[in-house]
Amino acid sequence: MKAVQKQEAAVVRPDREEAEAAVRTLLQWAGDDPDREGLLDTPARVARAFEEYFAGYKMDPVDYLSRTFEEVAGYDEMVVLKDIPFESHCEHHLAPIIGRAHVGYLPSNRVVGISKLARVVEAYAKRLQVQEKMTAQIADCILDVLQPKGVAVYIEATHHCMTTRGVHKHGVSMVTSRLLGAFRDDEKTRREFLATVGTTQFSSPHFVG
C-alpha cells in the first residue's frame, strides 16, 4: 500500500490565537476594519469554518476501508456508489469546489460498507485540493486497500475560482476520471460503469485517466 502510506511532510500548526490574528490581518489588507461591530467575531468564525472545511487532514481514508465483508454469496459484479456530493477548496485560491463523485469497484473476494466509500471521498475532499489529484487519491486508496479487480472514479465539479474571479465563466463544470484494472482494460466493464453513472465520456481507452 505504498501510495496510501506515503506521508506528507510534517506541518507545524499554529494555535487558534495565531490563526485568528492572521484573519484579522487579511481583513485589514482587504481594506476593512476588523474592530468594527460586524467583523469583531469574524476571525473566530473563520477559524471554526476552517476546522470544518479542512477536517480531512484529521481523517484516515485507509481506516475507513479496513473493515470488509467476505460473506457476499459469491457476488463478483461491480459495486457503484453514485452521486456522492462533496465540497472541497482549490489549493490555488482557497475558492470552493462543489461537485459529486461516482465511485465503483469490481470486488475480488471482499466488499466494504457503501458508506465507507463516501467517507473516503469526504476525507480527500476536505483538504486543499486540485480535482485531478483528488480523483487519483480516491481511486488509488481503494485499489491499495481493497485490492479489487478494478476501480473507477468519475468526478464532476464546478470551481468557484473560475466563476467568482479570473475568467468569470458560470455554468462550467470540470470532469475527471481514474479507471484502473478491469475498468481500464475491459471495454465492456468500462462502458457498464459509465452507463451506470449516466455518461458516455471517456468510453475509449485513449481517454481513460
Which three three-digit cell numbers place residue 65?
Answer: 476501508
Contact in structure between 83 and 74 (CB atoms under 8 Å)? no
Catalytic residues: 90-93, 131, 159, 161
CA atoms of 111 and 83, how far apart (whole Å): 19
CA distance 72 to 48: 42
Q: Which residues does residue 175 pair with via DSSP β-bridges, in sequence order? A: 156
